[in-house]
Amino acid sequence: MNKIWIITRRELASFFDSLIAYVIIIMFLGFTGFFTWVTPSSNIFLIGQANLQVFFQIGFWTLFFFIPALTMKMLAEETRSGTIELLNTKAISDWEIVAGKFMACLLLVVIALACTIPYYVTVSQLGSVDHGAMIGGYLGLVLLSAGYISLGLFASSITNNQIVAFLIALLIGIFFQLLFDMLGFSLRGGIGNVLNYLSMRTHFDSLSRGVIDSRDLIYFFSVIGVGLTFAQAMLSKRNWQS
């Protein structure tokens, strides 16, 4: 665990040293803040309800694009530059490398989400709020991010090209973000139910309504586990071949 935390701190520090963290946080706050508070078609004041559903839905889409950009270099660049081999010489396992990078990315997203706490405080002053839905929405964004980070790390473990890793992560994300949802509604019976269950939106929407269902938690933890396991397997395979 200590080695994982060391890698996490190193990667998180590199985000802030290279200004990636500041760019991600500022752009995230800019997109979500504009659509939540400013744009005439969807802002909170127009809707007239004391909730953050607009923010959660915008965050749902913003993170979909931002996370592949965040994860694309995590393993691809390490492999291309050869620094991944240096890590392996320090008695650090592939799992510790993957887990440390996962935690660093997730912490950066959590920091970005923490910067939106003033949204919560402001809405609370506007009227009676459903705090359960608020907490569920934030939990949904964290779990959604964790799922996409694990899939992004898997995409980054496949190639040593950052752009290719970004595109692969987006392609995988499209299935979970759009296609499973669309196919689940268009098909009936058991297949439709399975595809609907595989959709990120199905489980995120449930959490954002304040419903903490064990099925949603199992889904997200399963996606995280599968993504990280595949990333570790690909990293181990590439290290063995090299």
pLDDT digits (tens, 9 = 90+) for 2-54: 888 988 999 999 899 888 889 999 999 998 888 877 776 566 666 656 678 88
pLDDT digits (tens, 9 = 90+) for 144-168: 999 999 999 999 999 888 999 999 9
Residue of 101, 39, 46, 43 lying closest to 71 (CA atoms): 101
Does residue 150 contact residue 105 with C-beta atoms inside 8 Å? no
| Phi, psi for 116 (deg, rounded to 5) | -95, 5
The whole-angstrom separation of Cα 58 and Cα 36 is 8
Query: Per the structure block, which two tokens stand in for 151?
Result: 């899939």
**Is residue 206 predicted with pLDDT exceeding 80?**
yes
Q: Which amino acid is at 76?
A: A
pTM as predicted: 0.90
The whole-angstrom separation of Cα 207 and Cα 216 is 8
